[in-house]
């Protein structure tokens, strides 16, 4: 589904990513782990065409590196940012409708399904998005992205600052997204959710991938966790 090879990214003269390689299969959940500042979010932005990058990013067999972000999005790739970028003056329902790919297109997801999954959103369907709690805004952001029927989503720190119950709900949603054949790149610091939902994990350090393994293998590898993940 997604094949990234020798990805280098730059902010001006600063060389941030150094030859990143990764793959994500159809319906697979892959976590990108690492400490703050190692280049995880930059990897997402480079794939999406937001920062200057060289190398190769192939999505569904087509080279997308160098294409404008709107064209990459239309190809079926979506980003769910860390900053919960909703429209605060629009209601929950209106936010979801804005995410819909087309009134004629029947995708994998319908608004009523999200209301069934998240009772908070249903109860506040006609409340402005800016009045929601942080956890509710995160749910809304993810659901709005899914309304566009993407084939791969890149989710940046979805559980940051959220209560354990909300974190659990987000984990359940990610699992259901994968079950429906949508691939996921999950950028996370919390090992708990990443190891629970992921098929594979990549560990990043200093702008490059330093380790790839399964969640069970990472749990068994104390040295990798200590050197690259633990604070």
Residue ranges of domains in the chain, CATH in brackets: 1-76+152-157+183-231 (3.40.50.300)
Over range 80-104, report the average pLDDT: 86
Query: Cα dihedral sign for 137, 141, 142, 143?
Result: positive
Give 101: exposed, middle or buried? Use CB within 10 Å, 0-12, 13-18, 19+: middle
Q: Would you give the DSSP letter of residue 125?
A: T
What are the φ/ψ torsions at residue 146 (nearest 5 degrees)? Answer: -70, -25
Query: Cα dihedral sign for 104, 108, 114, 115?
Result: positive
Cβ atoms of residues 174 and 197 within 8 Å: yes
Q: Would you give the DSSP letter of residue 58?
A: E
Q: Which residue has the tokens 């509710």?
A: 136
Q: What is the pLDDT of residue 48?
A: 95
Over range 204-214, report the average pLDDT: 97
Q: pLDDT above 90 covers what percent of the chain? A: 76
Q: Which residue has the tokens 């040295």?
A: 223
What are the φ/ψ torsions at residue 50 (nearest 5 degrees)? Answer: -90, -25
pLDDT digits (tens, 9 = 90+) for 122-159: 999 999 999 999 889 998 999 999 999 999 999 999 88
Cβ atoms of residues 194 and 215 within 8 Å: yes
**Range of 14-28, 96-110, 163-177 with top mean pLDDT:** 14-28
Does residue 190 register a pLDDT over 90? no
């Amino acid at each position: 589904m997604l094949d990234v090879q020798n990805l280098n990214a730059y902010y001006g003269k600063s060389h941030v990513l150094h030859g990143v390689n990764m793959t994500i299969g159809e319906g697979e959940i892959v976590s990108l782990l690492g400490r703050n500042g190692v280049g995880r979010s930059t990897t997402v932005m480079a794939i999406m065409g937001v920062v200057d990058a060289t190398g190769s990013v192939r999505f569904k067999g087509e080279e997308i590196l160098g294409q404008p972000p709107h064209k990459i999005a239309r190809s079926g790739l979506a980003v769910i940012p860390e900053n919960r970028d909703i429209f605060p003056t629009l209601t929950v329902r209106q936010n979801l409708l804005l995410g819909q790919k087309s009134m004629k297109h029947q995708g994998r997801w319908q608004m009523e399904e999200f209301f069934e999954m998240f009772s908070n959103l249903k109860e506040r369907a006609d409340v402005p998005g800016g009045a929601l709690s942080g956890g509710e805004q995160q749910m809304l952001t993810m659901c709005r992205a899914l309304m566009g029927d993407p084939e791969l989503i890149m989710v940046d720190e979805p559980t940051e600052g959220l209560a354990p119950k909300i974190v659990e709900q987000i984990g359940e949603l990610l699992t259901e997204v994968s079950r429906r054949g949508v691939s996921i790149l999950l950028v996370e610091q919390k090992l708990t959710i990443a190891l629970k939902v992921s098929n594979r994990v990549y560990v990043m350090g200093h702008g490059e991938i330093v380790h790839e393994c399964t969640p069970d293998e990472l749990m068994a590898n104390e040295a990798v966790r200590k050197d690259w993940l633990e604070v």
